Structure 1
Amino acid sequence: MAPKPKPSKRDAILEAMLDLVVKRGFHDAPMSLLSKQSGASAGVIYHYFSSKDEIIQALYEHIRTLKIEAFLGDFSPDQDPRETFLRGCLNVYNFYRKHKREMRFYDQYKHAGFACAPDVKQEDERTKAYARRFSSKSKGGVLNEWPAEVLQEITLNLVIRLASQPRKLPKPLLLEIAEGIWQMVKAKE
């Protein structure tokens, strides 16, 4: 097996910031410690990023992109909504199990007062198509007419909470749970 390629300096800086924030929080992650942990001088750090906030924002965007890609998987608007929903539940569960550090950063980011509203103009067509598909029936989607925050709580947020539990759930059980959620939230024919 070929050795894993060495991360770029930029990636090493982001990885070091992730470690620092997860272990120490945003306010106890000084640039001097970031320099030491990443192996990049202050000059190199400032070559890639103009400020600590820019590093944090870049890390947030990187994690957000990873999360969206894992969540959508190979989504296509032509796929069966039920199958797409079930696969999406598994994808989210597995992502949150695998990326616990990243999700700790993400949660801290949301609660630290950073502006984390995504730029909707930058979302790709596949993401928009997914959002349309899994909106309420009156908006052209396949879900019932409950408020969006209620739908999110009993779908995505439930799967995320299950992923954060110490015991990993077996795939058949996850599929059974996802099927139960689907039956609850899908629009009636």
Structure 2
Amino acid sequence: MATDRAVAVRTALRTLVARNGFHGASMSAVAREAGVATGTAYTYYASKDDVVLAAYTETKAELGEAAVAKLDEALPPEQRFRALWLACYRHLKANPTHAQFLLQVEHSPYRGPAHEAALSNPDDPFLAQVTQPDIAARLRPFPVDVLYELALSPAIRLAANGIELTQSQLDEIADACWRAVS
């Protein structure tokens, strides 16, 4: 039951931030959306910042799992990148609240701490893939934030905005992202 409430608080925060931005996601509003008392939300998280970071790392972990779920690791690097990119896009398109939440975080003061929290997860399957020697050796020597912006941010923005694209267009965009980082 306790875990369910913590999950409900993270889900509520993600929903409110996606819908209203961070200003519309006070702890009392998050608790109300989660169906718990405000004090209960504070039982699991000391502050709104803690909930944001927990929701972000959870969202990124789910995205990473979705990205590698059907990945053929025998593919050459550029094809593996395309498969990862397309899987991320499809997951976010199917979960627009997650995409909108990630987009809000990207354009907020939470960006730095959120990225640090996500990058500190040694079990992140997406990071494990992009740091494979055959992919890592082909990446441009840009800061991690720049690589992220060029590689994954387009998938997040396209999914968050609900832009309808053909498979051919998605393939071209994924390939363009690969060319930008390699």
Question: If the length of structure 1 is used for normalisation, what is the TM-score?
Answer: 0.70
> Pairwise mapping of residues 127-146 of structure 1 onto structure 2 (< 5 A)?
127-132=127-132, 133-135=134-136, 141-143=137-139, 145=140
Shift of 1:58: 1.0
- After TM superposition, the structure 1 stretch with the greater mean CA deviation from structure 2, 145-154 or 74-83, is 145-154
By relative contact order (CA 8 Å, sep 6+), the higher-ranking structure is 2
Structure 2 Cα separation of the partners of residues 125 and 67 of structure 1:
9
* Pair 1:101-2:100 in alignment: no
Does the Cα contact within 8 Å between 1:86 and 1:175 map onto a contact in 2?
Answer: yes
Structure 2 Cα separation of the partners of residues 177 and 22 of structure 1:
24
Shift of 1:166: 4.3
Partner of 2:81: 85
Partner of 1:138: none
Letter in 2 for 1:116: A
Shift of 1:67: 2.1
Shift of 1:40: 0.9
SS at match of 2:88: helix
Shift of 1:31: 2.5
Letter in 1 for 2:32: K
Question: What RMSD, in angstroms, separates the aligned Cα atoms of the two structures?
Answer: 3.3
* Pair 1:49-2:39 in alignment: no
Structure 1 Cα separation of the partners of residues 164 and 24 of structure 2:
32
Shift of 1:160: 4.1
Q: How many pairs were matched up?
A: 174
Structure 2 Cα separation of the partners of residues 130 and 79 of structure 1:
13
Shift of 1:44: 2.3
Runs (5+) with no aligned partner, structure 1:
1-6, 136-140
Shift of 1:142: 3.2
Shift of 1:159: 4.0
* Pair 1:122-2:121 in alignment: yes
Matched-pair identity in %:
25
- After TM superposition, the structure 1 stretch with the greater mean CA deviation from structure 2, 24-33 or 81-90, is 24-33
Shift of the 181–32 alpha-carbon distance from structure 1 to 2, 3 Å rule, reads closer
Question: If the length of structure 2 is used for normalisation, what is the TM-score?
Answer: 0.72
